[in-house]
Amino acid sequence: MKPCLYIFAKAPHMGKVKTRLAADIGQVHALRIYRAMTAKILREMQDPRWDTVLYVTPDHSADAYFGGLWPKNMPRFTQNGGGLSERSARLFTRKGPVITIGTDIPAMRRSDIAAGFKVLKHNDAVIGPAKDGGFYLIGLNAPADPELFNTIRWSHKDTRKDMCAAINGRIAFLRELEDVDDLAGYQRYKMLA
């Protein structure tokens, strides 16, 4: 079965994306940055070696393209509500290697996804660690236990530790990257870009 990459994506609506960054720089500029990061990730992550699927919210935005931001040729599924644990668990019900990412790690490359699928050939899970204690990528040789994500403290300094404790099996780790959540994170990204 062909590996599958799911990209969590929010519709680019003012005041609904990058709210922590918007608190630092304003909603208009935060929306522009969000659109730019999303466009970069969607361009970069398409590859014939795996299926790339948008996993979108809110559900009513599933048929929108947002001025070409969401590619017309990219399949998409709606997140169908619920918390992040429930929405994440839905992605790992299919058989085969599955990786999920978001759109807030602009330093992520296609090579990170390829490395993730490669290590999944010999491991049960792969995690791309984020500098804040979370992760920017998780991959499993699904299907996974539907309860896997229930004990995860999301947006917490120990999110990655919780995830590692919940996974029953061998975990491989990719390089550490920083997500862009606030102005300081964005400035660090721009200095390295």
Q: How far apart are CA 128 and CA 123, in angstroms?
A: 14
d(CA 88, CA 148): 9
CATH code given to domain 4-192 = 3.90.550.10
pLDDT tens-digit readout, 97-106 = 999 999 999 9
Task: Report pLDDT digits (tens) over 118-168.
Answer: 999 999 999 999 999 999 999 999 789 989 999 999 999 999 999 999 999
Q: What is the pTM of this model?
A: 0.95
What is the C-alpha to C-alpha distance for residues 94 and 97, in angstroms, rounded to an integer?
Answer: 9
Check residue 1 and give its pLDDT.
78
Q: What percent of the chain has pLDDT over 70?
A: 100
Tokens of 168: 């029953």
Kindly list the domain boundaries of the chain, sorted by start residue.
Answer: 4-192
Measure the CA–CA gap between 158 and 165, rounded to whole angstroms: 11
Structure tokens at 118: 């490669």
pLDDT at 7: 98
